């Protein structure tokens, strides 16, 4: 089979032909991948940014954690998933026994592993994975759209962590897939949302076309000016999804007293922050990472309810054999979500 493999702790990845992965262990299934999205985490891992050195002990492995597919085989003890089921991957593999797992906080699992970062992922014709990490999809949800479940669930979790409520004035920094999802979900929940980017013309235009009511190009106006013009005052919540330190400091500066700043982006460098802005302004700084089972359930429901809307986030479709071209596109501001397809490139698969 064809797979995009991260073989060494350094920049790049290799498309290789390899045999099927190991026989299924207890509790595992094999999935024929139908669609797999390129995530910001994949870009960081591909470039071998310093914050992804944690992967070194687990190499070589196949990248990719945003994927959907059809179950091709199940271990004898698997009863909750059947051959032929359409599924999406919840990539966080947990132990189920640590204090966090027992408390219902799987994201805090002490032995947490991520499919595509710690073990073989979905940039391949097929993948072996725990049955517990396969979420059965409702009838009629196209598998290309279903592959958006993980990033949308991350966005939903960020909105939850930030405590966004109906009527809140919300600034979302970064019109990438996560920021776009945050803005769409926050607006759907009744918030007044301003999505801001920097020279992201194509993405901001797409955001408007998808129904977001307010966008701002920070190459033309400052963040403070954009917020004042739209809200007539300071926002209640700022969600940062850029990975740039300046977004955190600027977001904190415009936030109303007592407001919430949620950091969602992955940052390559440490941040120097004036904590007096936080303390004297009684502001809250929160980190939002990964997702929850509840957010995944909501993501699947939203995708099933409006597949045509969310399909517009898939701006580029390529065969897995052109994965390197896909990674190059994903680094460009014109692309929103690049989707890779084993075999023939399709829509509404």
Structure confidence at residue 104 (pLDDT): 87
- Determine which of 124-128, 134-138, 265-269, 309-313 has the lowest per-residue pLDDT on average: 265-269
CA 35 to chain centre: 15
CA 280 to chain centre: 33
On whether the CB atoms of residues 303 and 148 are closer than 8 A, the answer is yes
Residue 20 has pLDDT above 80, yes or no: no
Helix, strand or coil, per DSSP, at residue 258: coil
Token pair 């071998």 in the structure block, residue = 48
Phi-psi region of 64 (alpha: psi -120 to 50; beta: other; left: phi over 0): left
Structure confidence at residue 268 (pLDDT): 80
CA 264 to chain centre: 10
**Res. 304 pLDDT band, cuts 50 70 90:** very high
Secondary-structure percent of the chain, ordered helix, strand, coil, rounded to 5? 35, 25, 40
Structure confidence at residue 21 (pLDDT): 65
- What CATH number labels 2-148+313-341? 3.90.180.10
CA 70 to chain centre: 21
Residue 312 has pLDDT above 90, yes or no: yes
Residue 348 has pLDDT above 70, yes or no: no
% the chain with pLDDT above 90: 90
| Mean local confidence (pLDDT), 8-24 | 90
- Give the CATH number of domain 157-287; options: 3.40.225.10, 3.40.50.12160, 3.20.20.70, 3.40.50.720: 3.40.50.720
The neighbour count for residue 273, using CB atoms within 10 Å, is: 13
Which pairs from 113-116 meet CB under 8 Å and 24+ separation? Answer: 114/65, 115/65, 115/89, 115/91, 116/42, 116/61, 116/62, 116/63, 116/64, 116/65, 116/91
Terminal Cα-to-Cα distance of the chain (whole angstroms):
20
Residue 301 has pLDDT above 80, yes or no: yes
On whether the CB atoms of residues 197 and 204 are closer than 8 A, the answer is yes
Spell out a b/e string for 77-92, using b for 16 or more CB atoms within 10 Å of the CB, else e. ebeebeeebbbbbbbb
For the chain, residues classed under CATH 3.90.180.10 are 2-148+313-341
Tokens of 176: 């990438």
| Mean local confidence (pLDDT), 258-278 | 92
| Mean local confidence (pLDDT), 5-27 | 91
What's the rounded Cα separation, in Å, for the pair 88 and 71? 10
Residue 346 has pLDDT above 80, yes or no: no
Residues listed for the chain = 349
Mean pLDDT of the chain: 95
Residue 107 has pLDDT above 90, yes or no: no
Residue 349 has pLDDT above 70, yes or no: no
Please calculate the CA angle 8-131-84 and round it to the nearest 5 degrees: 105
Contacts of residue 234, Cβ cutoff 8 Å, sequence gap at least 6: 169, 227, 254, 255, 256, 259
| Mean local confidence (pLDDT), 73-86 | 97
Token pair 């045509």 in the structure block, residue = 308
| Mean local confidence (pLDDT), 262-273 | 90
Considering only CA atoms, which of 106, 119, 107, 117 is closest in space to residue 28? 119
- Tell me the backbone φ, ψ of residue 118, rounded to 5 degrees: -115, -20
For the chain, residues classed under CATH 3.40.50.720 are 157-287
Residue 5 has pLDDT above 90, yes or no: yes
């Amino acid at each position: 089979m064809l797979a995009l493999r991260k073989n060494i702790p350094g920049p790049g990845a290799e498309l290789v032909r390899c045999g099927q992965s190991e026989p299924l262990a207890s509790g595992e299934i094999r999935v024929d991948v139908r669609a797999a999205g390129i995530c910001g985490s994949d870009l960081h891992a591909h470039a071998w940014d310093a914050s992804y050195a944690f992967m070194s002990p687990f190499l070589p492995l196949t990248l990719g954690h945003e994927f959907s597919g059809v179950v091709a085989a199940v271990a004898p003890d698997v009863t909750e998933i059947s051959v032929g089921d359409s599924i999406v991957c919840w990539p966080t593999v947990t132990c189920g026994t640590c204090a966090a797992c027992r408390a219902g906080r799987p994201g805090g699992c002490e032995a947490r592993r991520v499919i595509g970062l710690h073990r073989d992922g979905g940039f391949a014709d097929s993948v072996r994975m725990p049955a517990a990490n396969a979420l059965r999809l409702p009838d009629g949800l196209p598998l290309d759209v279903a592959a958006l479940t993980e990033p949308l669930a991350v966005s939903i979790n960020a909105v939850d962590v930030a405590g966004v409520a109906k009527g809140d004035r919300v600034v979302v920094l970064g019109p990438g897939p996560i920021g776009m999802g945050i803005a769409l979900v926050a607006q759907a929940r009744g918030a007044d949302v301003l999505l801001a980017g920097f020279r992201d013309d194509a993405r901001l235009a797409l955001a408007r076309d998808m129904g977001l009511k307010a966008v701002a190009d920070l190459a033309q106006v400052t963040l403070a000016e954009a917020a004042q013009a739209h809200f007539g005052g300071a926002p209640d919540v700022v969600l940062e999804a850029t990975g740039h330190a300046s977004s955190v400091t600027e977001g904190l500066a415009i936030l109303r007293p007592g407001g919430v700043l949620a950091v969602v982006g992955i940052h390559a460098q440490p941040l120097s922050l004036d904590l007096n802005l936080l303390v004297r302004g009684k502001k809250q700084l929160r980190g939002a990472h990964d997702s929850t089972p509840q957010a995944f359930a909501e993501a699947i429901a939203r995708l099933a309810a409006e597949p045509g809307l969310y399909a517009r986030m898939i701006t580029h479709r390529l065969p897995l054999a052109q994965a390197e071209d896909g990674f190059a596109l994903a680094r460009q501001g014109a692309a929103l979500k690049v989707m890779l397809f084993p075999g023939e490139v399709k829509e509404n698969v």
